[in-house]
Amino acid sequence: MYIAYGSDYIHAKWYLVGITVTQLFQCYRMQFESIFNGIDKPKHTTKTSAISVVVNMITAPFLVILFGGLGVIYSTILAEIFRITVYQNQIKNIFGRIILPRGVMTQIVIFFGLYIIITIFSSIVSLSSFNQLIFSSFISIVGFYSLQYIFSEETRIIVSEYKSEINVI
């Protein structure tokens, strides 16, 4: 944020982190929406989304009063947690068990692990803002996809199939 927009925007990094966390929750919940659409139960998705919007609308004013602009992010995260909880209950009622999409869970763990590594490294080693951006970007991209390849069998299968198609051409 500092490099792109200057020192006036340094505190906006928490908005970016919050939006990123929100996106992680949305990636997770989309797995459930795909399941409900796949079994021809779109009413579950519509009803749960509507309730989630209401939760967001109710909590946002209070959280904005308490935390300022970040309150909107917190409210959205709470609404997503609520939505995922409702989806899990619906899945349990339909299939008799809770479903944890491992691929998404792996991505979330990798994301937080890399965030912690970058934060610790940044606090120990003093880099210029530009070098910090390059380091963070490199670790984020290379680290994420390397760890994704190591820990996800699905990713390894996709890469293997892609390699075999390239060899055919």
Q: Are residues 92 and 110 in the same domain?
A: no
Residue 125 CA to residue 106 CA, distance in Å, equals 28
* Count of structural domains, the chain: 2
Contact between 107 and 158 under an 8 Å Cβ cutoff? The reply is no
| 137-165 pLDDT per residue, tens | 888 889 888 988 998 888 888 888 888 88
Does 88 score more than 70 pLDDT?
A: yes
Q: Are residues 95 and 108 in the same domain?
A: no
Q: Are residues 147 and 88 in the same domain?
A: no
Give me the amino acid identity at 168: V
Contact between 55 and 78 under an 8 Å Cβ cutoff? The reply is yes
Local structure of residue 70 (DSSP, 8 states)? H
Q: Are residues 156 and 135 in the same domain?
A: yes
Local structure of residue 68 (DSSP, 8 states)? T
Out of 43, 67, 99, pick the residue that ends a domain. Answer: 99
Q: Are residues 38 and 49 in the same domain?
A: yes
Band of the pLDDT at 4, cuts 50, 70, 90?
A: low
Q: Give the range of the structural domain holding residue 45, as residue numbers without chain letter.
A: 1-99
Q: Are residues 167 and 105 in the same domain?
A: yes
**pTM value?**
0.69
